[in-house]
Amino acid sequence: MANVAGLDAFKENQETTVIDASKKVKIGIIGTGWIAESHINAYKNMPDVEIVAMADLVPGKAEAFAKKFGVENCRFYESDEALIAAEKDLDGVSICTYNGTHASCAIHALNAGINVMLEKPFTVTLDEAVEVMKAEKKSGKILTIGFQPRMSENMKMIKKIVDSGELGKVYYLQAGGGRRRGIPTPFGTTFIEKETAGIGAVGDIGSYSLDMLMGAVGYPKPLTVSGYTSAFFGKDPGYYPNHPEYAEKFGVDDFAAAFVRLEGDIILDFRISWAMNMDTCGDALILGTKGGLRIPSTECWNGEFDSPLKIYKTIGDETVEYSVPLKPREDLFAKKLRAFVDSIKNGGTATVPSSEILYNQAIIDGIVKSAESGKEVEINIPEI
């Protein structure tokens, strides 16, 4: 073939990032359960990160966790408070505790001047989220919420399409997804007990669904919510053939639906499910005056999609549909934790800021309160 070296200039840039590992970022892990495994796997691959401390309420759990993942020279504690009191030169913590202790752990860390990666959902209640944000404001430290689907190029495409103006004025969002049989109990009951989880499907996978749609349209302020929650499957001993006793422990929701009014004349039609007699709550939809976007549902919904987005438009007098090809899957946990470490090193800002996720939490809180009262509720967000 002829020498076409000059044409190589048009090849896509293969970006290589050089990591300066001369100074290590000191990280602590609070809560060493299931999701902490993804955090540790990501941190262990970073040449500029040193995991110096771990804490878990269960005696010996943090030590066993460190051993399993081959982390050496690490100190262990039996609570977030003990870790924070003893470790004076931490740069950041991953808070991987169950929802019920998200707020207290984040407040303790921020008050001690430590940057925080807080797993999703933000908190259990809106009031808790407000208190965490007050601590964040006072500390001037980074608080980022662990929505790794945000790091996906496919998810970013949803926002790019909305921002391009191709859809015109967006007026309706429909949340989709959900699971037919997907109450998360493979590792015990921390997701289903009121004390540890606080909220069920509405917070666990509902928060992802909200982030996908609300993030795409720039997180408009929620105004009112009419919500419904139920727990028919979670409270049924027959749901858990090997653990019928889980039904007694089930203290959260396994299904939620809501009608939410957002600032800017946008309606959010929300539904989410850990368990139902249906394979999906449907695709997620964004309707605009000039176009519509379909975000296809997946088999076991977890906050991402795995088939092409579809755009619906009218060109001339023809209705047309076209697909947006999927980009390759990436390790989103590695990306989310790399972004956290980079923001610590470079004095950057949160990748997933609390100021946005506050509205996510406000909707969840509104759904819970409206479901309890049986009435539509107004969303009032206290001053921070």
* Angle between helical axes of 102-111 and 126-139 (0-180°, round to 10): 10
DSSP H or E segment with residue 138: helix 126-139
> Six-digit token pair at 352?
């997933």
> Token pair of 359, please?
């509205």
Q: Based on CB atoms, which residue is closest to ligand NAD, 45 or 373?
A: 45
User: For residues 155 and 149, is the Cβ–Cβ distance under 8 A?
Assistant: yes
User: Rule CB under 6 A: is residue 273 a binding residue for ligand NAD?
Assistant: no
| Near ligand NAD by CB under 6 A: residue from 43, 49, 51, 61 | 61
- Give the separation between CA 123 and CA 187, rounded to whole angstroms: 21
Query: Which residues ranging from 107 to 166 are in contact with ligand NAD (CB under 6 A)?
Result: 119-120, 146, 148
Quick check: 39 binds ligand NAD (CB under 6 A)?
no
Which residues, at least 6 apart from 238, have a Cβ–Cβ distance to it below 8 Å? Answer: 244
Instruction: Give φ, ψ of 179 to 5 degrees.
Output: -125, 150
Tokens for 319, please give them: 């209705």
* Chain centre to alpha carbon of residue 197: 15
**Rounded CA separation 209/303 (Å):** 6
- Closest distance of CB 35 from ligand NAD, Å: 4
Q: Which is nearer to ligand NAD, 33 or 296 (CB)?
A: 33
Task: Please tell me whether residue 232 binds ligand NAD under the rule CB under 6 A.
Answer: no
Binds ligand NAD by CB under 6 A, chosen from 98, 219, 301, 340: 98
Smallest gap, in angstroms, from Cβ of residue 228 to ligand NAD?
22
Widest CA span in the chain: 75
31 binds ligand NAD (CB under 6 A): yes
Smallest distance, ligand NAD to C-beta of residue 184, A: 7
> By CB under 6 A, which span of 39-47, 93-101, 210-218, 245-253 interacts with ligand NAD?
93-101
Total of residues contacting ligand NAD (CB under 6 A): 27
List the one residue from 94, 101, 361, 370 that touches ligand NAD (CB under 6 A): 101
Minimum CB separation of residue 187 from ligand NAD in Å reads 5
Query: In the sheet that 222-230 helps form, which strands lie side by side, from edge to edge?
Result: 318-324, 309-315, 292-295, 284-288, 170-174, 266-273, 255-262, 222-230, 377-378
**What DSSP string describes 170-199?**
EEEEE-----SB----TT-STTT-HHHHSS
CB of 92 to ligand NAD, least distance (A): 16
Q: Which of residues 274-303 bind ligand NAD (CB under 6 A)?
A: none
- One-letter amino acid identity for 59? P
Which of 58, 64, 278, 300 contacts ligand NAD by CB under 6 A? 58
189 lies in the binding site for ligand NAD (CB under 6 A): no
57 lies in the binding site for ligand NAD (CB under 6 A): yes
Interaction site with ligand NAD (CB under 6 A): 30-36, 55-58, 61, 79-80, 96-99, 101, 105, 119-120, 146, 148, 187, 190, 204
